[in-house]
Amino acid sequence: KDAAVPRYTLLKMAAATTLAKRAVGKLRPETTAMLLVDIQERFRPLIYNGETVVQTARYMTSVAKALNIPVVVTQQYTKVFGETVKECFAEQQDLEATPIYEKKLFSMCTEEVASHLSKLNRSSYIMFGIEAHVCVQQTALDLLEKGNDVHIIVDGVSSQQPIDREVALQRLSQAGAFLTTAQSAAFMLMQSAEHPNFKAVSKLTVEHMKLPNEFNEALKK
């Protein structure tokens, strides 16, 4: 009986160590995919700080291209809510080359998307899009439930009402998602100024920072 105590303690310590490693949430290009959630034309004028969400999506998809990270896009009931906002990509050809999945399920994790993600074989997902409290939240929870790391770009997600966005971010953090910013995620993916595409991503970052960030402005009030 006494011998079982230290063994049990060791098992608990090992489990805690494994959990701690998993909870760090480091990003690497080879294990990461980006998910652009339902940034569609009909929603664009309705979303709180919607133009910043679009600009951030453009930055993130450009970073993805520079670092060879796959991007997956969904559109919620396209017939009603329209196509993906073209400005979410720096070049039209990049949008056209990106897999776009039609859905009515609020979560991105439809059978088609789940099948596509399984082929990508990634364990970390960077998410940006709308609405934070519906499609973004439900997608993140589905991915977390399957044991994936989920990183929410806080300057790239929003809802029609600020309160819905705020509570959704709290809810996602409580569920185990990592809240981060676009620039933080981009530089974590590179890890070093010696990364071969550091100059390209730095240039994208400088250009992105010249644009007005409505979330920053809101914090200054």
| Category of 37 on φ-ψ map: left (φ > 0), alpha (ψ -120 to 50) or beta | beta
Tokens of 104: 């009515």
DSSP E strands, 40-81: 71-76
Q: Single out the catalytic residue among 65, 88, 109, 135.
A: 135
Q: Which is nearest to 62 in space by CA: 43, 86, 88? A: 88
User: Has 109 been annotated as catalytic?
Assistant: no
Element containing residue 22 per DSSP (H, E)? helix 4-23
Strand pairing partners for 35? 72, 127
Alpha carbon distance 18, 148 (integer Å) = 14
The predicted pLDDT at position 98 comes to 94
User: Greatest CA span in the chain, whole angstroms?
Assistant: 68
Q: Which of the 8 DSSP states describes residue 84?
A: B
| Category of 164 on φ-ψ map: left (φ > 0), alpha (ψ -120 to 50) or beta | alpha
Q: Single out the catalytic residue among 38, 142, 149, 155.
A: 38
pTM comes to 0.88
What does the pLDDT profile of the chain (221 residues) look like in tens digits? 444 556 666 566 666 665 555 568 899 999 999 999 999 999 999 999 999 999 999 999 999 999 999 999 999 998 999 999 999 999 999 999 999 999 999 999 999 999 999 999 999 999 999 999 999 999 999 999 999 999 999 999 999 999 999 999 999 999 999 999 999 999 999 999 989 999 999 999 999 999 988 888 877 76
